[in-house]
Amino acid sequence: MKKILSIIALGAAFAFAVSCDLSEYDPNSPELSEVFSSETKLQYVLNDFYDAFPSVTGAYSSEPGKVDYFPKNAQAGRYQKGYDASASDSWGSWEKVRRLNYLINMLHAPECTVSTAAKENFEAQARLFRAYSYFGMVKEYGDVPWFDRVIGLDEPDYEYKERDSRDDVMKYILEDLDYAIAHITATSPDATCVTKEVAQFIKMRVCLYEASFRKYNGVTASVTGKAFGNYTVDALFALAAESAKALMDSGKYSLVSDYRKLFTEQKLQLSEVILGAQTSATIKGSQNNYFAYTASTDPKTLTRSFINTYLMKNGSAYTDKSGYALEGWADEMAGRDPRLAKIVRTPGYKYDGQAAVPDFNCAPLGYQVIKFCLDQPADKSTSDPDEREKCNTNSTPVFRYAEVLLSYAEAKAELDEMTDDIWAETVGAIRKRAGITDGTASTGTLTTKPTGPVDPYLKANLYKNVDDPVIMEIRRERGCELVLEGQRHDDIYRWGCGSLMKDLPWDGIVIDALDKAIDLDGDGRSDVYFCKKLPKTLETGVSYIIVNDSKNTFLTATKVGSKQQLGFVPGDGVKNVDKNSKQRYWEPKFLYDAIPYITVQEYKAKGYTITQNPGY
């Protein structure tokens, strides 16, 4: 990477610092030299960049509208029909990059008087954040201009330069991360701060994403036509495997015994969590408010098409069962991967000490998420959902060891280097923790990799571009283990499966019939009644749910055999629209967002050109 260039004069530097808010980190607004002579204040400055990571609210809140397995009334604008450059209103994290470059520059200025070791530690942290910011922009736009220093007022050629090849940008990102791995000395006893292990994790994720994105989307050159020459796909997979193995061999991490405790405990589970968001007396989450309290036209539910991918407890595929597609809620949940009962409500689940079937006002498809939630109201002092918002005391993992194992397995499988031993220490270990007891030749056992054939359900409905049973099962396991942790969008895009955004059915549980009280969990008491019109007499303790009414609901019921299956049709917030509406739409150009029209015009007005992404 280019050497960090000249440091601007102190007067101009201080003016720039104010624009970067450096003077706002301390309530006494110290002089610039005071900031750069104090390790405490420099760390305080760096702390402002932690907004790059999810808060205790969790990554799940970013998924609706951008993934295939979690319905939303309106998809994100980028994924709607007619979306173009004039509708794009975002173009990179340039302010954050500018602030980081300024900070890195100033660490080398005379005004910075902390020790050399401290400078290297702070620069390493800053470069980690810069690399992570650029990684986000590469995922969003592909090629982006790389800036590694503060832009002077007399440098329009540099400020308005053409986009650099993503291959070159990836090189710079990895150089930043390698520097961070080598020079971060900060430790984090509570797993809430960046460390060299966090940098290693990010490098693993970056390399795995880039390798599989290139492989499965056929990307071999920049949008400006420059062929990639820094890394082959296999080289990137090898770097991902190397980074994952470094974390595995560090001896610092292991899988905790209880999957659910990862997401419900007040203290982060430090043996597995590499980085997390910790709650406190003043910092709390809103998971219960999101998944358990709030009823709206947006469902808070997973889909049956995805729930079908969870194995049986004995390791066989659920979809190999005869008649699985017509099983009701209680039957489909029986004998399944025990982890499923820690992700959604299943028969026997208790909320606030009472047996609780899904609340169809919150989760109309019947798969109500409990993964991030407490099993009781987060605040019993009020019944007002708005007042209970942000009352969750449970903390949230951001980076965790299970993803390391899955990434190592995937990289080794893509390199055709998977062995039974590697399978056992990665996917096998995760399934064993989940409570799965065995497996089959198609799904793999706890100690032996799959030998085939590939699972026909996954092949037909999700991953049509996979013929290797090992890779297929790793994809299954990644989806099941990391569900709603903010990785699904990136996964389906890097796997060349973006069309799942419109193709994966938004289907729900199967019920016996409409206009009939139903005992969902088999406890002898009726729980719910689905109907197009409310009956004249309402039974106490039964929830009445309207379906197939285009005026006020998006919930449908469709005849399947002798039964009915719930479904969700996205609409415009007022009434249903047909299934081919703009609300579920995808085309290949959505691999990248558009460079905003206003940005293209700004370049043009200054006498420069920036290449637009294909299709916009």
Tell me the pLDDT tens digit for each residue of 138-152: 999 999 999 999 998
- What is the DSSP track for 345-361? --TT-EETTEE----TT
Mean pLDDT: which of 12-21, 73-82, 229-238 is highest? Answer: 229-238
Task: Report pLDDT digits (tens) over 306-316.
Answer: 999 999 999 99
Name the residue among 356, 319, 312, 351 with its Cα closest to residue 334.
312
What was the pLDDT predicted at 461?
98
What was the pLDDT predicted at 18?
30
What was the pLDDT predicted at 583?
67
What was the pLDDT predicted at 187?
95
Q: How far is CA 71 from CA 49, 475, 506, 568, 569, in A?
A: 31, 20, 6, 8, 9
Task: Report pLDDT digits (tens) over 345-360.
Answer: 999 999 999 999 999 9
How confident is residue 7, by pLDDT bands cut at 50, 70 and 90?
very low
Percent of the chain with pLDDT over 90: 79
Beta strand 555-560 pairing with 396-400: unpaired
What was the pLDDT predicted at 524?
92
Residue 90 has pLDDT above 50, yes or no: yes
What was the pLDDT predicted at 101?
96
The two structure tokens encoding residue 118: 């401290």
pTM of the predicted protein model: 0.93
| 240-249, 286-295, 296-305: segment of lowest average pLDDT | 286-295
Q: How far is CA 384 from CA 26, 295, 389, in A?
A: 37, 13, 9
Residue 556 has pLDDT above 80, yes or no: yes
Task: Report pLDDT digits (tens) over 29-58.
Answer: 446 778 899 999 999 999 999 999 999 988
Task: Report pLDDT digits (tens) over 365-385.
Answer: 999 999 999 998 877 777 766
Supply φ then ψ for residue 563, to 5 degrees.
-120, -175
Answer whether 270's CB lies under 8 Å from 190's CB.
Answer: yes
Distance CA 331, CA 327 (A): 6
Spell out the domains of the chain, with CATH numbers in brackets.
1-54+91-186 (1.25.40), 507-577 (no CATH)
Mean pLDDT of the chain: 90
Distance CA 508, CA 520 (A): 13
